[in-house]
Amino acid sequence: MMGNTHVWAGITAALLAVRPENPASCVIPVTMGALGGLLPDVDIRRSRHGKEILIAWLMVLFLAIAGVVLDLYLKTGYLSLLWQRLRGTPVLGAFLVAFMVLWGRRTPHRTLTHSFFFVGACAGAMYLILPPLALPFAAGGLSHLLLDALNRKPESLLYPFPGGCCMGLCRADGAVNTLLLVGCLGLDFFLVLRLVFPS
């Protein structure tokens, strides 16, 4: 399916999973559902500047390693100070999300990032950052896997196990996509407006 369909379907799944009780408590399900709904497509490489960016990332990595070596050699103590700040679980979760995203960007389309393993690992990482982020993210991610399963290109739901599955019912950019987009968009507005204007 197309990106905006995944975003709105992710929000729908998150709102239905979390069932917020007032408008303010819609913020997390809306943002995390949208993120979870779109994140699996991080494996689509649209940029023509991939090589250039990779070199820039390697440069940053090199500078970071050089900094660590210098810190140990000069005994400046920045590293131990940094470690004290980084020890909490939220930072661990953020690193795990970043790791999964970078790994996902290196894999072929509809393999790692379109698996229960990827959605589960990212949702677990979100839990480490802040527990209420996990459920709406997982709902958004699973909605992505479900919608893509309708298409004709197989997705590796059980990655790292080989084999892919798809129902082959529709094209990613066809009429079904438009129908789902409009349906989810309408449902999202209905679910949120019902909280803003309770009868």
Residues in touch with Zn ion (CB under 5 A): 40-41, 148
Give the nearest distance from C-beta 176 to Zn ion in angstroms. Answer: 15
C-beta of residue 119 within 8 angstroms of C-beta of residue 141: yes
| Distance from chain centroid for Cα 92 | 16
Q: Is 165 helix (H, G, I), strand (E, B) or coil?
A: strand
Sign of CA dihedral 187, 192, 196, 199: positive
Cα–Cα distance for residue pair 20/18, rounded to 1 Å? 6
Spacing of C-alpha 24 from chain mean position: 22
Nearer to Zn ion by Cβ, of 33 and 93: the residue is 33
Question: Min. distance of Cβ 116 from Zn ion in angstroms?
Answer: 14
Q: Are 177 and 170 in contact (CB under 8 A)?
A: yes
162: which DSSP letter?
Answer: S
User: Which C-beta is closer to Zn ion: that of 102 or that of 130?
Assistant: 102
Q: How far is the CB of 184 from Zn ion (least distance, A)?
A: 15
Of 44 and 98, nearer to Zn ion (C-beta) is 44
Which residues make beta-bridge pairs with 165? 155
Shortest CB 22 distance to Zn ion, Å: 32
Q: Smallest distance from the beta carbon of 46 to Zn ion, in angstroms?
A: 13
Nearer to Zn ion, 5 or 188 (CB): 5
Shortest Cβ 188–Zn ion spacing (Å): 19
Q: Which two tokens stand for residue 132?
A: 């209420």
C-beta of 125 vs 145, nearer to Zn ion: 145
Choose between 41 and 188: whose C-beta lies nearer to Zn ion: 41
Whether 140 contacts 36, CB under 8 Å? yes
Q: Is 139 exposed, middle or buried (0-12, 13-18, 19+ CB in 10 A)?
A: buried
